[in-house]
Amino acid sequence: MTSFQEYCINRCTSVLGVNITFEGVIGEAETYYVSNLSVNDHNIAIYIYIDEAGFDINGKWYIFETPDYKSEKELADAFVAKLCDSIDKKSKLIEIKPPIILYDNGDVNLFQSIEQAEGYIESPDVLDNRYVAYDAEGMPLALIAPKTKTLKIFGIALLGSNKVSIMVNQQDKACPDELKRILSDLLKNQHISDKYVNNATLSELVDKCIEVIGYTR
């Protein structure tokens, strides 16, 4: 599974808010992934190829190809947004505001980017529900450990990527007060005065945490 395929599959799962199962198909030129589902009375077939994606909805085909976009992420986001539009779902893609804040039973880690956080988090910890994650504005973030099937060619197992993906669930709402509590507890344990912590905004608390504990590398 390529990083593009993994991103597309995770975006579909998160944004549509339904249980989607993708099956790997070994074609002549590449392995691609297919899902057939019914959402809001629409019959949909989704196809994720190595560097492009498309879907058929009630017999109408939409394809998104590499030459039409500046990056794979732009292509994937356009694909998911059109899919949402086509089934009357909210298509606005919520932007994640760094830093990424990872909470683990009292411990807090800060990451400058989504990519750094994804590189730090391990799939078994996600499956064990070890972490809670937020962006800088208190938006809860979904940590997704891929559950891909093992494909076999001539008896050789080809495993999909185990890389964790971080994204926003469209159905979630920001929880700034919850994040403020977590960061306030952290700063008080670092001997920052109660007066400062109790009067600081969420943005100020985030900046102070970066100053005090720094980013996790």
Distance of alpha carbon 140 from alpha carbon 24, whole angstroms: 30
Please report whether residue 50 resides in a domain: yes
List pLDDT tens digits, range 132-189: 999 999 998 878 765 444 444 444 444 444 567 777 655 567 789 999 999 999 999 9
Q: Look at residue 196 and tell me whether its pLDDT is greater than 70.
A: yes
Predicted local confidence at residue 11, as pLDDT:
81
- Last residue in a domain, options 26, 61, 86: 86
Q: Do 106 and 76 belong to one domain?
A: no
Q: How many domains does the chain have?
A: 2
Burial class (CB in 10 A: 0-12, 13-18, 19+), 5: buried
Predicted local confidence at residue 159, as pLDDT:
43
- Last residue in a domain, options 61, 86, 111: 86
Tokens standing for residue 198: 């109790």
> Which SS3 state, helix, strand or coil, does residue 66 take?
helix
Q: Do 164 and 195 belong to one domain?
A: yes
Please report whether residue 185 resides in a domain: yes
Please report whether residue 21 resides in a domain: yes
> Which SS3 state, helix, strand or coil, does residue 101 take?
strand
Q: Which of 7-11, 20-24, 115-119, 165-169 has the lowest mean pLDDT?
A: 165-169
Q: Do 61 and 113 belong to one domain?
A: no
Predicted local confidence at residue 114, as pLDDT:
85
Distance of alpha carbon 144 from alpha carbon 86, whole angstroms: 25
Q: Look at residue 18 and tell me whether its pLDDT is greater than 70.
A: no
Please report whether residue 92 resides in a domain: no
- Last residue in a domain, options 52, 86, 120: 86
Q: Do 106 and 163 belong to one domain?
A: yes
Q: Do 106 and 202 belong to one domain?
A: yes
Predicted local confidence at residue 91, as pLDDT:
38
Backbone torsion region of residue 214, taken as left when φ is above 0, otherwise alpha when ψ lies between -120 and 50, otherwise beta = left
List pLDDT tens digits, range 45-92: 889 999 899 988 877 888 898 888 888 888 888 888 888 777 764 434
Q: Do 173 and 112 belong to one domain?
A: yes
Q: Look at residue 1 and tell me whether its pLDDT is greater than 90.
A: no
Q: Do 106 and 81 belong to one domain?
A: no
Predicted local confidence at residue 59, as pLDDT:
76
List pLDDT tens digits, range 93-120: 457 889 999 999 889 999 999 889 988 9
Burial class (CB in 10 A: 0-12, 13-18, 19+), 48: buried
Range of the domain at 71: 3-86
